[in-house]
Structure 1
Amino acid sequence: MEETFISSKPCAKEEEIIDLNQITLRSFNLSDLDDVMVWQTDEKVAKFWGEPYTSKDQGINFIENIESEYLLQCKAICHNDHVIGCIKLFSSSLHDKSRYKCAEIGYVLASKYWGKGIATCAVKQMVMVTFAFSEFSYLERLEALVDVDNVGSQRVLEKVGFQKEGVLRKYVFFKGKSRDMIMFSLLSTDIQL
C-alpha cells in the first residue's frame, strides 16, 4: 500500500510531497556528515534532543560512535538516501537485569520534515517491520519517554499503537530545569507481526 502525505498546514511556498515508500532506515556512514549536521545544528530540533552541534568534529564523533553507544540498534532515517534523522533502540538491561525484556525507542528528525508522517513511518519500520519484536524476539515491552511539551512526538507514538501510561513528574533535568515526561509503551502482544 502506497502512503503519501500532503501537509494541510498553510505555507508561503508549495509544500513538498513526501512519498513515505522512500523512507528507509540504514546504518550511518561518514559520507552522511553534511546531512547529519543539518539537524544536529538546528535549534528547533535541539529543544527536545540536546545541545546543537557547533563543529563538524561533533558530527564525525556522532557517526563514528553512534552504533557502539546503543546496545541494540541505531539507524539513520533516510529520504532518497539522504539522512534526515535518526532512530534508536536501546536497553539498560546490562545495568538492570530485571529490565532484560524491555527496550526504549527514541528518534529525532530534521525540523524541515516535521508533520509529514516521516517519524511515524520510521517508528513503524523500527517496531513492526524490521527490528524490535522480530530481531530481538526476547523483548516484551518497548518504552518511549516524551517531554510533555512535545505534542508531535506524542502523536507519532499514538499512531503506531503505543499506549500512554502516565506523566512522570520532574523526571529529567534537561537544559537547566526539571521536566515532566510522558511514558508510552508498546507490548509485543499489542501488535500482530
Structure 2
Amino acid sequence: MSLSTNRLTLRRVTADDAPHLLAYLSKPEVVRHMGLDPFTSLEDSLEEIAWYDSILEEGTGVRWGITLTGQDEVIGSCGFLNVSAKHQRAEIGFELSSDHWGRGIAGEALRAVIRHGFTQLRFHRIEALVEPANTASQQLLERVGFTREGLLRGYEFTRGKYDDLYMYSLLETDSMT
C-alpha cells in the first residue's frame, strides 16, 4: 500500500532501495539523533529493510519509503512502530536525507502518515520520542500539532549509553495543522 501527497509518493521499501538508504543513512547528520551509527555497507541497509519487513509481518508497525512523485529514489522514510492495537496507539518515526532538508518534505510525509494512522488504522493516539538535542524534529512535530508531554529519563540504551527522550503525542481529537 502506498500513500500520495502533492509532491510525494510513500511506498514499500525493497532490497532494490538499499543503495538509496545507504546514501543518506551513511551521513552522520542524518543518523545523529536516531540511536544508530552511520551505515557503512549495503548490508546495513538490507538489515534496515528487513526490519521494515519484520514489523509489517508482525503487525507491530509499517514503514514507507519517501520518494518524490515521479522519481523512484527513496530519500527518507516515515512510519509507525510499537503499534498497540488494544490501546489504539503507535509511535511514529521519520528521517530524511539531508540533501532534502528545509523543503517541507518531512512535514508533508508526516502529515500523510498521521492521516493514514487516524483514518485507516484507527489509532486514537500517535506518539513520538525525540532526543532533547533534536530541536528540528521537535519543531516539526509541534508544527503538525503534537504536544510535548514530558521527559523520559534514561529511556533508551543505544550506542553504549542511556538516552533521555521527550515524549510527544497527537490524539485523533487534536487538530492537525
Flag whether TM exceeds 0.5 (same fold).
Answer: yes
Aligned to 2:64: 75
Aligned to 1:166: 150
Unaligned 5+ residue runs, structure 1?
A: 1-19
Q: Given residue 28 of structure 2, which amino acid in structure 1 is its aligned partner?
A: E
- Tell me, in whole angstroms, the C-alpha distance in 2 between the residues paired with 1:115 and 1:164: 22
Among 98, 107, 124, the residue aligned to 2:111: 124
Q: Given residue 109 of structure 1, which amino acid in structure 2 is its aligned partner?
A: L
Over the aligned positions, Cα root-mean-square deviation in angstroms equals: 2.0
Unaligned 5+ residue runs, structure 2?
A: none
Normalised TM-score (structure 2):
0.84
| Alignment partner of 1:145 is 2:129 | yes
- Tell me, in whole angstroms, the C-alpha distance in 2 between the residues paired with 1:173 and 1:32: 29
Aligned to 1:62: 48
What SS is found at the alignment partner of 1:21?
Answer: coil
Measured after TM superposition, the shift of residue 31 of structure 1 is: 2.2
Tell me which stretches of 4 or more aligned residues in structure 1 moved more than 4 Å.
none
Measured after TM superposition, the shift of residue 104 of structure 1 is: 0.5
Number of matched pairs: 166
Label 1:91 to 1:177 Cα distance change in 2 as closer, same or farther (>3 A): closer
Q: Given residue 168 of structure 2, which amino acid in structure 1 is its aligned partner?
A: F
What SS is found at the alignment partner of 1:75?
Answer: strand
Identity %: 36
Alignment of 1:26-105 (within 5 A): 26-49=11-34, 50-70=36-56, 71-79=60-68, 80-93=71-84, 100-105=87-92
